[in-house]
Structure 1
Amino acid sequence: MKIAVVMGGYSDESVISLRSGQLILNHLNKDIHEVYEVHILNEGWYVKMGDQKSPINRADFSFENNGNTINFDVAINTIHGTPGEDGHLQSYWELIDLPYTGCGFYQSALTFSKRDTLSVLGKFDIPKANSVYVTKGQEIDGEKIAKTLGFPFFVKPNQSGSSLGVSMVKELSELDKALAFAFAEDKDILIESQLKGVEISVGVMKLNGNTRVLGITEIVSGNDFFDYEAKYLGKSEEITPARLSSEVSELVEQSAAKIYEALGMQGFSRIDFIVMNDIPHFIEINTNPGLSPQSIFPQQAAYANLNFSNLLENEIKLALERKPIWKK
């Protein structure tokens, strides 16, 4: 098959996505697939072959190579942020009938909004932080927020990943700076109370028809929280398996599987929790988790003794089996 490994994106996460794409390129079986490196960036859409960049025809996601038109059989989506993690590319691929990995366009759009994800999961009795939602331009009463949530609290862009735009506010004087930092990423903001406990991240996927929890990783940040610097610049310690009791670990696995299924997920995902008083509290779900050498999901696959090349074949199989919504 002709496989497009799609990486990049339009957000600040594009650098991380390009690293994730390289890991996938390294693990795909070149004996049975023709593998192409596809970049979707602000500068354009193209297939990268050495120093050559061949433009993608957006009418059908094909490209020209030595006078021949190359059409892909499946796209492996590893874009973090827009347009690959918010449903835009998934909708486009559905319309042109190109199979793609990961969750569908609705799940992508839903989970890219922290507010909407929390709203849906609220119907499933999933423990979570207390929160306030604000939009750019509206009057923000800092004292009321502090009274509602207590100090410290977190200010987060509603639609952003890799902890971009996230701040911890320890006193009211820090709020304006945190709001400006978050509004630089998104016009909508989620402000959440701090959950004091053990931060963990849980890899989940569909494997052989079942929801499979790969492992639980404990995150010990060298900073105040697991921010961009801690995630990608070595300012954290990641411990797999997490140092939790067997009872709490089982509860975490059950909660992760419940969330994955409640949201109708497919493909690789990573679900973040804070374990407070032995209860896992949901933070967020990443539907295109990082796959760079520093990323947690590949570490958990190795811990579970799962061959990453086989996991990619599983993803391709699921992509080919899923019918576009307009064909159902």
Structure 2
Amino acid sequence: MNVAVVMGGYSGESVISLRSGQLILNNLDKNKYQTFEIHILLNEWYCLIDAVKYPINKADFTFTKDNQVIKFDVISNTIHGTPGEDGHMQAYWELLDIPYTGCNFYQSALTFNKRDTLSVLSKFDIPKAQSIYLSKGDAIDGKQVADQLGIPFFVKPNQSGSSLGVSMVSTLDDFQKALDFAFAEDNDILIESYLNGREVSVGVMNYKGETKVMGITEILSQNSFFDYEAKYLGKSEEVTPANLSEQLKNSVEETAKKVYEALGMSGFSRTDFIIMNDVPHFIEINTNPGLSPQSIFPQQAAHAKMEMSDLLDNEIELALKRKLIWKK
């Protein structure tokens, strides 16, 4: 079976995606799959074989090597950010009738949009922060924001990942800088109240037909919050499993499952919560979580004594089953 391991993307998360792609390439069973390293970058799409780039034909997502056209049976998608986590590539692959891992194009677009995700989850009584939604050019008064949300508060792009463009505002003198930082990533932003509690990240996936919690990791950031530096530059401690009471652990797991199912998820995911007053408050869901060796999801899989090769087999099986549903 020809498996395209697709990585890269058009955002600042592309570097992280390339690391995730390598972990997938290293863990797919070579006895079952012929794997191909596919880079989707802003200026070029190509298959990399022995340091040689073979351009991808965008008309049918194939490439040609030695006068032979190589087609893919399934795609393992590990692009973080646009265009592989926001539904664009998923819709394109679906039009080409090529099965792919992860959730479908609608769920991808929905969950990449923080405002829309919060709107859907509000119907399911999922606790969350108070928020204000703004578009570039809207008038905004910092004092009104502080009066409504309190200080400190967070400013974040509506559509972005890896904490890119996110700031915590502790004084209104920093408000404009935070707005500029967020608007550099997206034309729409969220301003959210500060939740004072413990941060946890929960890996959830559809495993053999059931919603399974992989594990709960507590984030102990050296910075004021779990920003890009804390996530990827060693400025945090990640404790797996989180040291929670049995009652609190069950509450977090059940809430994470509820979020996953309410949003119609499939495949790997990582959901972040702040536990405040023993209640897990939803922050965001990541439908293409990082899979580099230091990323949280692989840590949780290792603790659960689950082999990545088995989890990837499961992902490919789900992708192929979804294609059968398309046919109907």
TM-score exceeds 0.5: yes
| 3-state SS of paired residue (1:280) | strand
**1:185 match:** 185
User: 1:50-84: CA deviations, max 9, x gaps?
Assistant: 22000001111000011100000000000000000
Give the counterpart letter for 2:307 in structure 1.
N
| 3-state SS of paired residue (1:102) | coil
**1:171 match:** 171
**1:214 match:** 214
Give the counterpart letter for 1:225 in structure 2.
F
- Does 1:42 pair with 2:35? no
Aligned pairs for 1:120-269 within 5 A: 120-269=120-269
**2:75 match:** 75
Instruction: State the shift of 1:294 in Å.
Output: 1.6
**2:289 match:** 289
Instruction: State the shift of 1:323 in Å.
Output: 2.8
CA distance, structure 1, for counterparts of residue 146 and residue 174 of structure 2: 12
Quick check: 1:219–1:226 contact (8 Å CA) kept in 2?
yes
Quick check: 1:94–1:325 contact (8 Å CA) kept in 2?
no
User: 1:3-23: CA deviations, max 9, x gaps?
Assistant: 000000000000000000000
Q: Which ranges of structure 2 fall in alignment gaps of 5 or more residues?
A: none
Runs of 4+ with deviation above 3 angstroms = 324-328
CA distance, structure 1, for counterparts of residue 309 and residue 82 of structure 2: 26
| 3-state SS of paired residue (1:82) | coil
Instruction: State the shift of 1:303 in Å.
Output: 0.8
User: 1:178-203: CA deviations, max 9, x gaps?
Assistant: 00000000000000000001000000
Give the counterpart letter for 1:54 in structure 2.
Y
User: 1:270-323: CA deviations, max 9, x gaps?
Assistant: 000000000000000000000011200000001111111000000000000003
CA distance, structure 1, for counterparts of residue 126 and residue 255 of structure 2: 8
Quick check: 1:17–1:290 contact (8 Å CA) kept in 2?
yes
Moved more, 49-58 or 282-291: 49-58
Q: Which ranges of structure 1 fall in alignment gaps of 5 or more residues?
A: none
CA distance, structure 1, for counterparts of residue 60 and residue 305 of structure 2: 38
Instruction: State the shift of 1:141 in Å.
Output: 1.2
CA distance, structure 1, for counterparts of residue 114 and residue 210 of structure 2: 26
| 3-state SS of paired residue (1:31) | coil
Give the counterpart letter for 1:90 in structure 2.
Q
| 3-state SS of paired residue (2:189) | strand
CA distance, structure 1, for counterparts of residue 323 and residue 18 of structure 2: 28
Quick check: 1:97–1:324 contact (8 Å CA) kept in 2?
no
Moved more, 26-35 or 92-101: 26-35
Evaluate the alpha carbon distance shift between residue 110 and residue 325 of structure 1 in structure 2; reply closer, same or farther with a 3 A threshold. Answer: farther
Q: Structure 1 length normalisation: TM-score?
A: 0.99
User: 1:191-216: CA deviations, max 9, x gaps?
Assistant: 00000010000000001110000000
Q: Identity of aligned pairs, percent?
A: 70
Q: Structure 2 length normalisation: TM-score?
A: 0.99
Q: What is the root-mean-square deviation in Å for CA atoms of aligned residues?
A: 0.9
Instruction: State the shift of 1:326 in Å.
Output: 5.7
Quick check: 1:90–1:100 contact (8 Å CA) kept in 2?
yes
Aligned pairs for 1:284-323 within 5 A: 284-323=284-323
CA distance, structure 2, for counterparts of residue 196 and residue 143 of structure 1: 21
CA distance, structure 1, for counterparts of residue 317 and residue 113 of structure 2: 28
CA distance, structure 2, for counterparts of residue 51 and residue 103 of structure 1: 31
| 3-state SS of paired residue (2:323) | coil
Moved more, 184-193 or 318-327: 318-327
CA distance, structure 1, for counterparts of residue 273 and residue 143 of structure 2: 27
User: 1:88-112: CA deviations, max 9, x gaps?
Assistant: 0000000000000000000000000
**2:52 match:** 52
Give the counterpart letter for 1:204 in structure 2.
V
Give the counterpart letter for 2:95 in structure 1.
L
